[in-house]
Chain A
């Protein structure tokens, strides 16, 4: 078990900067998710920790050891790849046994450990099969077993669920979390672009974009205190509404002028030009009838997602998405809405950083 520390880590591929001055600490036993869109540098970060890439600048520490110059074979990290990367010419037993064989462990001990870990993951009956004879979920488990069998200090997972179909993915999500955090308590770094995976599994999430770390925090912090508009829109579905405009103060009231509509904000703030108002579709009060402080809107369409339904309301080039109350039905054409006071975010339009919320 070990903590992982990244100090000012930069990785360049030619002129392209994949990761820029990244500082991040993953605590001992923590489940850290690196979240971001493709090409944001999250996989590169993971590969640098594994030792498959060398950082251009900066330091990587695992435990008390600076590992920049240490060969990946000696870092005691294990990795599960997106494609699982099982050895196709070996049986499941051979695959799980392989890392132990490379350490030169005696044969009996190897067999014992393989059986233990296979039993632990419920794949004992598959030991004599070849990877090509397994389903995606089974291959996934074999890949996990191979990574776990040598008891690594740090466990690295690169989009391990993205090749599975939706139903197994949901099931494996919980199983993985249970296994790694509750049963083993192993330091885990998990890369994904799926915000639902991040929210459900992580102790803490590190959101990255274009090689730059945007925010680190617990799922709650990331969701309720997004540091900037990128985090606000990347996490949460449908994404946060962002409306450009200005704050004006009139008769001691704080108003947000979006151009298309004027909204009274139940907060105290100084007048300010060029801001972005942010609020989540779920954090909106919606009414059929007009009410004071509510904005009128014509519904363009309604998206039904089972219990929840979301209404799309156009204002010129802008579209606001709000969650409609279950009782409202789908025949409404016009609604009145207002963001909830405690869930309003104001971002600076230029830096796109949070200034209120």
Chain B
């Protein structure tokens, strides 16, 4: 074997090893999804059997039929859409403004304020759950999608992402705009916002995913079934007093995750952009 052939062989072996490792991990991550997909066509009796079985027998669409027999199912989809829409709109509006202010404006206490804001990332949501509940309760907005959305209209990670993005834009463009007659507000609307489209896309996608799948918040702040979002509604519909019927919940989750999967496939370059901008999780 010549050295050249040897080198080629080594390179090939490396490629094979890389693929094996990557495929193994991909399979591990995909496994719950694959399992859900298969289980959604099984009866609950078969799906809960141990050791797990991998072929639905009998093959059944009963789980999906149960789902669409639920009177409130369309209503939950509507609620979830409204909730996700409010969260996305709120985040785009408020985090772009906050990010712009932190990145481009000079005001006393800016950096202290920003550090304080970032430190909020370290506080688990459960710590603020009770105070938030009291606030929403006092506002009379318990069991109301708008009250729930109020809590998520802005988000520290999104502010951080927007700030980093605005800082990455050339300072000279903003200075040119200033000399062309733009105050800070005009320069936000005419220059910063149109240039921030990729970052806004990333914020929108992240927030949509987060709010579409949100469970704890809706579970605590919403009370009547007709106001539930999809994740809460599904677990409500199939939870009995002593046991839970998981297969329809699994089918429901798959239906519910369809929009997020489509969104991911269409917009994943924005997600990646978001990660690149912040140098970490968005």
Contacts and interface: CB of A to CB of B under 8 A. Distances in A.
A50 interface: yes
A103 interface: yes
Given A73-B183, A102-B186, A85 B176 contact: yes
B170 A146 contact: no
Contacts of A78: 179
Contacts of A81: 172, 175-176
Which of A85, A86, A99 is packed against the most chain B CB atoms within 10 Å? A85
A107 interface: no
Contacts of A77: 179
B255 interface: no
Contacts of B180: 73, 98-99, 102, 146, 150
B195 interface: yes
A88 interface: yes
B181 interface: yes
A71 B172 CA distance: 17
Q: How large is the interface on A (under 10, 10 to 19, 20 to 34, 35 or more residues)?
A: 20 to 34
A249 interface: no
Interface in A44-93: 50-52, 71-73, 77-79, 81-83, 85-89
B178 interface: yes
Contacts of A79: 175-176, 179
Interface residues of B, number: 17
Interface string A92-107: 0000001100110000
Nearest to B196: A89
A81 B178 CA distance: 13
B177 A87 contact: yes
Nearest to B191: A87
Contacts of A87: 173, 176-177, 191
A72 B263 CA distance: 44
Contact of B173 (A72, A85, A102, A103): A85
10 contacts: A52-B175, A81-B176, A83-B170, A85-B170, A85-B173, A86-B173, A86-B176, A98-B180, A102-B182, A103-B181
Interface of A: 50-52, 71-73, 77-79, 81-83, 85-89, 98-99, 102-103, 146, 150
In order of increasing CB-CB distance, the 8 nearest A-B pairs are A102-B181, A85-B176, A85-B172, A99-B180, A89-B194, A81-B172, A73-B181, A85-B173
